[in-house]
Amino acid sequence: MRIGGILALLMAYILLIATFGQFCESKAVKKTSTLYKFYRFMLLPITLPFKPCGIDVPAKIQKQMWAMNNGRTYFVTVFYYILYFGSLFFVYATLVAPITIIFPRVNEEQARLEWIQYPTKQAAINFVPSFMVLITMLCHVSSLISFTTATLRDPNGEKNKDDFDEILYSALTCEDCKTERPARCSHCEQCNKCVNKRDHHCIWINQCVGRRNLFWFNVFLNSTAWACFFAGVINIATIIKIFTSSPSDEMNMFMLYQKKVFKLKIVLQWAITSMPLQFASGLMHLLISLMLIPFGTVHIMQALQNQTTLEKTKKYYLKEGLKRLEWSFFKVEGVDKKEFNKLMKEKKAYLVQKYQAKLEKVQYEEQIYQVLDLKKALKEIDRYNWYSKGALSNLIEVIKDGFTK
């Protein structure tokens, strides 16, 4: 179990950095002291791999300590690493460790079944396709790298390349930052700053998901989901393989279940007692994947549409305002599709105004706009996406932002 020992040491190292770093980054320790220099030396294993990416790990950790003093906590982030290495240990143990199986055997003298332990030299890795093992390992590695990068990478870019669409975003001054808020920016109370292309605040990475870490957040979320899925499938496939085979061709658990010798309850008890690690790992990983896969799919769709969770929320509140007769939603009339797309780029396709019961049409810059009824207005708002440039262009933009310094 050498790998298990290595994983335990890694978990201990992360916990030590988290607790020791909180003290060393406080004002009680001078930056010139031997203790602080020793702490920086301990950070070298995680500092050197990120240095080529332009990420200053000690500075990022110091920022996380400051965040904790302002009401945020990084212990959820540390908890991810504990879960990660715990999952990796489960996968390793269920794949590589030899399996000892409990099989039924007929005692002809006493005319009853006996449960006999059959230690095997084979491991689960011999029962499943190699590509599934490879995909599981690649997803695990991808999850670790992308999570760490999303945690350490500042979500704000140097320049904001988006314009105000005058529907979801308009020029405003942030009341907290006391500065002009750029387009697609929103103030986060937990981060205590305006975040560019803010999606949401994620407690796992202990900061907001924004322009520069949206790509890494998506990779982390989806690679974690599929790592758990394939790990669970491997464990369940191992149980099914043992369920349908035995040292004797005359009898196995599947045959006994078919002949109604055992009920399903007994079969489940057999699976839990005979292969407890495989059963627990399979159930845990599949349940986690079933929660994460839909969440990850939604975020991929939003990335392809160049739309954030916050923008979907803004559209929801706009629709609620229409239902409560707070707003009127106008659409330009008397133009063809080509002219409409041109006006859309010029932010002249739609107008939103305070609700007036008798107002049906309005003129703005030589264009006539007609008020839409509630059903049509809700449909137009659902379809509205001024920042989309096409699925491929949107995807390339998210990837580029993920690697922008």
My answer on whether 350 and 256 are in the same domain is: no
Residue range of the domain that includes 352: 309-384
Residues in the chain: 405
Q: What is the DSSP string of 15-27?
A: HHHHHHHHHHTST
Question: What pLDDT, on the 0 to 100 scale, is given for residue 199?
Answer: 92
Question: What pLDDT, on the 0 to 100 scale, is given for residue 342?
Answer: 86
Which parts of the chain have pLDDT scores under 50?
1, 65-72
Question: What pLDDT, on the 0 to 100 scale, is given for residue 223?
Answer: 94
My answer on whether 254 and 348 are in the same domain is: no
Distance CA 172, CA 309 (A): 20
Final residue before a domain boundary, out of 49, 71, 93: 71
| Number of independent structural domains in the chain | 3
My answer on whether 294 and 313 are in the same domain is: no
My answer on whether 119 and 9 are in the same domain is: no
In this prediction the pTM is 0.78
Q: What is the DSSP string of 222-270?
A: HHHHHHHHHHHHHHHHHHHHHHT--SSTT--HHHHHHTTSS-HHHHHHH
Question: What pLDDT, on the 0 to 100 scale, is given for residue 69?
Answer: 41
Question: What pLDDT, on the 0 to 100 scale, is given for residue 298?
Answer: 93
My answer on whether 96 and 232 are in the same domain is: yes
Give the number of C-alpha atoms closer than 13 A to the C-alpha of residue 169, restricted to the C-beta side: 25
Environment class of 365 (CB within 10 Å of its CB; exposed 0-12, middle 13-18, buried 19+): exposed
My answer on whether 359 and 271 are in the same domain is: no
